[in-house]
Amino acid sequence: MYNEKISDDANLNELIDYYLKNFNNPEIMDELKWEDPYLYLQITRLHFIKQLQDTTPTYKCPDCGDNIVHDEWGEEYCESCGLVTRTPYDYVAGFKITLPYGRK
Tell which residue, 76, 80, 81, has the closest CA to residue 101: 76
Binding mask 51-70 for Zn ion (x = CB under 5 A): ----------x-xx-x----
SS3 content of the chain, % helix, strand, coil (to 5): 45, 15, 40
Contact 67, 73 (CB under 8 A): no
Q: Binding segment for Zn ion among 10-18, 47-55, 67-75, 83-91 (CB under 5 A)?
A: 83-91
Query: By CB under 5 A, is residue 78 in contact with Zn ion?
Result: yes
- Interface contacts to Zn ion, rule CB under 5 A: 61, 63-64, 66, 78, 80-81, 83
